C-alpha cells in the first residue's frame, strides 16, 4: 500500500499539490483524472519516490519512506511517464535494464521478458532501436519495461496517450492479464475518462493540485443485460435506457452537456426523462455556464446549461426540474 499523508508540494514557492491523504491500496486500481496541469504527473512522481514532498510523508506498506528514498524502496514502485523515453540500445536491452539492476540472471530475465513481450505483441520490435519506433510503440515498450519488474505498485501517466485504439486495447488487455497472474496496485493518471472508467476501483479527480470532491459527474456502475441494442438498466431507483451491444458489468456515464433541462416534461425523442428537485446550482466557466444538480429520487444527476438558460428557467434549489437525454447519449465503458 502506497500512501501520501499531509503532503504539500511546492515548485519555486508555488504549491502545486496539496493532499491530506492519498492511498493506493495494495492490489487496487486507482484512476486519477484531471485536466492538464491539475497535478497528476507531480502526484505520480511523489508516489514513484522520485522526489520527496516539500512537506508531509510518503508511506510504503506503513513504513515512512526517507526523504532520499533508497533504491531498495524505489524498486518496489515504478512509473511510466506520459511521454516515456527509451535508453540507447535495443528494445530488448531496454527491457533487460531494470532486471539487470535487480541482479536477475539472464535465464530468469529471458523468461520474464518473454511473457510480457508476448502479451504486448512486442516480438517484432525486440531488436529495434528507439529511433526506429513510433511514439505508440515507445509507449508500449515503456509499459513492458515496467511490467517485467513485477513491482508492488505500477504508476502510469496517460499510458495510452500516444497509442491508437487497437494498441491501447492491447495495452489494457496486457495489464489485465498481468494483474490476473499476479495482483499488484495500479494507479493511472489520465485526462481521458475512458481510461479511468475502464480501470477504476476508485476514481479520484484532481483540480489545481487538490482532490476535488466533484468526481466526474453522472457515473454509474451497472450490470448490462445480454442482447443487442436498447437496454434498460437500474441505477438506484431510476431506470436508465442505454443503447449498447455490451453485456455484463460496465460503467455508464451521461455527459452533463447532453442533458436537456426543462421545468416540465416535453414531448421529444429522449428515452430518458427524469423528474426531480434541484439540489444545487454551481456557476462554471467564468459565469457563462451553470451546473444544475438534481435529485432524481435518490440518484443525483448533473446537467450543464448556459447561465442564460438557467435564468430563463428560473432554476432555484428545491424547485422542480426535468432532465431528458437520449439513450445514445449514455456512454458505456
In the complex with another protein, which residue's Cβ is closer, 3 or 96? 96
Ramachandran angles phi, psi of 258, nearest 5°: -95, 0
Beta bridge partners of residue 332, listed in sequence order: 252
Region of 20-28, 80-88, 117-125, 324-332 interacting with another protein (CB under 8 A): 80-88
Print the binding letters for residues 294-323 with another protein: x by CB under 8 A, - otherwise: ------------------------------
Residue with cell 442482447: 227
Q: Which stretch binds another protein (CB under 8 A): 144-152, 176-184, 238-246, 308-316?
A: 144-152
What is the spatial distance between Cα 30 and Cα 24, in angstroms, rounded to a whole number?
7
- 80 pairs with which residues across the strands? 156
Q: Does 10 bind another protein (CB under 8 A)?
A: no
* Site residue total, another protein (CB under 8 A): 26
Please tell me whether residue 14 binds another protein under the rule CB under 8 A.
Answer: no
Query: Among 1, 15, 50, 126, which residue sits at the site for another protein (rule: CB under 8 A)?
Result: 50
The interface region with another protein, picked from 142-150, 206-214, 246-254, 321-329 by CB under 8 A, is 142-150
Q: Are strands 320-325 and 260-262 parallel, antiparallel or unpaired?
A: antiparallel
Site for another protein in 196-235 (CB under 8 A): none
Bridge partners, 10 (sequence order): 15
Q: Using an 8 Å Cβ cutoff, are 150 and 136 in contact? A: no
Cell, residue 309: 438558460
Q: Tell me if 120 contacts another protein by CB under 8 A.
A: no
Q: Is 77 in the site for another protein (CB under 8 A)?
A: yes
The grid coordinates listed for 91 are: 528494445
From 167, 133, 165, 126, select the one nearest 148 (Cα to Cα). Answer: 126
Which cell numbers in the block locate residue 269?
A: 425523442
- Interacting residues toward another protein by CB under 8 A: 45, 48, 50, 71, 74-75, 77-79, 81, 83-85, 87-89, 97-98, 101-102, 129-131, 145-146, 149
Amino acid at each position: 500500500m502506497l500512501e501520501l499523508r499531509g503532503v504539500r508540494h511546492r515548485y519555486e514557492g508555488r504549491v502545486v499539490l496539496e493532499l491530506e491523504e492519498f492511498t493506493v491500496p495494495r492490489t487496487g486500481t486507482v484512476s486519477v483524472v484531471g485536466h492538464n496541469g491539475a497535478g497528476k504527473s507531480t502526484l505520480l512522481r511523489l508516489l514513484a519516490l522520485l522526489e520527496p514532498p516539500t512537506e508531509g510523508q510518503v508511506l510504503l506498506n506503513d513504513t515512512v519512506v526517507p526523504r532520499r528514498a533508497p533504491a531498495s524502496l524505489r524498486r518496489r514502485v515504478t512509473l511510466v511517464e506520459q511521454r516515456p523515453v527509451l535508453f540507447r540500445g535495443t528494445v530488448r536491452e531496454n527491457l533487460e535494464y531494470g532486471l539487470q539492476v535487480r541482479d536477475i540472471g539472464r535465464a530468469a530475465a529471458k523468461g520474464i521478458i518473454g511473457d510480457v513481450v508476448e502479451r504486448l505483441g512486442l516480438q517484432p520490435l525486440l531488436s529495434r532501436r528507439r529511433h526506429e519506433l513510433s511514439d505508440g510503440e515507445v509507449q508500449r515498450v515503456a509499459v513492458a519495461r515496467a511490467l517485467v519488474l513485477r513491482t508492488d505498485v505500477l504508476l502510469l501517466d496517460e499510458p495510452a496517450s500516444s497509442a491508437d485504439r487497437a494498441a491501447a486495447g492491447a495495452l489494457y488487455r496486457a495489464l489485465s492479464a498481468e494483474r490476473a497472474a499476479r495482483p499488484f496496485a495500479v494507479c493511472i493518471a489520465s485526462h481521458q475518462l475512458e481510461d479511468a472508467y475502464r480501470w477504476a476501483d476508485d476514481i479520484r479527480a484532481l483540480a489545481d493540485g487538490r482532490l476535488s470532491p466533484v468526481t466526474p459527474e453522472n457515473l454509474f456502475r451497472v450490470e448490462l443485460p445480454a442482447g443487442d441494442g436498447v437496454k434498460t438498466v437500474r441505477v438506484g431507483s431510476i431506470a436508465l435506457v442505454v443503447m449498447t451491444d455490451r453485456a455484463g458489468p460496465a460503467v455508464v456515464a451521461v455527459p452533463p452537456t447532453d442533458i436537456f433541462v426543462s421545468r416540465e416534461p416535453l414531448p421529444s425523442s429522449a428515452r430518458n426523462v427524469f423528474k426531480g428537485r434541484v439540489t444545487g446550482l454551481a456557476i462554471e466557466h467564468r459565469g457563462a455556464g451553470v451546473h444544475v444538480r438534481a435529485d432524481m429520487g435518490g440518484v443525483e444527476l448533473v446537467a450543464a446549461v448556459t447561465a442564460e438558460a438557467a435564468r430563463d428557467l428560473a432554476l432555484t434549489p428545491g424547485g422542480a426540474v426535468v432532465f431528458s437525454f437520449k439513450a445514445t447519449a449514455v456512454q458505456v465503458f
